[in-house]
Chain A
Amino acid sequence: MGTRGGSERVQLTQRTRSTPGRFAPAPSRPLGHRVPPPAPAAARRPAVPDGVVPLVVAAQAGCSASFERLYRMLAGQVASYLRWHRATDPDGLTNDVFAQVHRNLGRFEGDEQGFRSWLFTIAHHRMIDDRRRVSREIPLQGDGGVDESRACGDVEEDAFAAMSRHEVEHLLAVLSPDQREVVLLRIVADLPVDEVARLMHKREGAVKALQHRALASLRRHLARTEPEPAR
């Protein structure tokens, strides 16, 4: 997360608000030189960077457009993570998560992986708060999951062709809460084992064991329910 060190980590606290050349003397112009008209407001704004780290740096410097782009890049994953956990209002909770990220962004230090891990730690805590608020186990059924009309791309098309949302919900319901959490953090949040372990307050070996047991449970379940091939 944000406060951990690492040789490859990028310090994100460096501010980029400085305006290079602001106090430099104006270049002299020959008499009669025509001054070009000022650029439109949109053109004068600094370009919004690409990539999570530059966006975080710019957002830390107060660039709202960069934060909005960060939101567009990552909010889908957060909403999906919360949706598969059957959060009561995944889209609303996603907004809550990003509001908290924005409030605490100035204190964040780390690389892209660290930022993703921090983001999903907040999402994880929001999900637990939501569960406590509901104070009962939410069955894995009903509306939720993926808006299948929004998917695009060959890999996604193949996945959607092979499975239905109902099947996915049914399979996730086979898992224990911890197994489900590991599967969602590894796949939907795309976090490595060490980050999942830290987030779940478990050892890496325990996370690997949970993942292995989750796969074994799913495979057993699928092998049991697979229809006999036609003879």
Chain B
Amino acid sequence: MGWMTDLDIDPHVDAGCRAADDKLRGLEAYLRASGEAEAPPMRGDLLAQIVLSEIRRDRPADG
């Protein structure tokens, strides 16, 4: 939880603040987990672009 390590947590916080910090940690974990979600489908035009690029590079130069 690297982001939360920047928090200056007061050791004398009351229960309400501790709950808020727990929620903040939950927010960080949720956001981080959202980035680990599956990649969206690759669109056909992007796929075609990278495949065509590979074909062009592999093709011997004309002449």
A-B contact count, CB below 8 Å? 149
B27 touches A68 (CB 8 A): no
A204 at interface, CB cutoff 8 A: no
B15 touches A229 (CB 8 A): yes
In the complex, A64 Cα to B51 Cα: how many Å? 6
Q: Which of A17, A90, A186 has the most CB of B within 10 A?
A: A186
A155 touches B20 (CB 8 A): no
Q: A151 to chain B: which residues have CB within 8 Å? A: 33, 36-37
In the complex, A183 Cα to B27 Cα: how many Å? 10
Q: Give the residue of A90, A147, A215 whose beta carbon is less than 8 angstroms from that of B6.
A: A215
Chain B, residue nearest A188 (CB) = B35
In the complex, A212 Cα to B3 Cα: how many Å? 10
Contact count band on A: 35 or more
Q: A117 to chain B: which residues have CB within 8 Å? A: none
Chain A, residue nearest B57 (CB) = A62
Q: Give the residue of B27, B33, B35, B51 whose beta carbon is less than 8 angstroms from that of A190.
A: B35
B20 touches A71 (CB 8 A): no
A75 at interface, CB cutoff 8 A: yes
Interchain residue pairs with CB less than 8 A apart (19): A61-B57, A62-B53, A62-B54, A76-B38, A80-B35, A90-B40, A91-B40, A91-B41, A99-B45, A99-B46, A102-B53, A147-B37, A168-B31, A188-B35, A190-B32, A215-B6, A215-B7, A222-B20, A226-B16
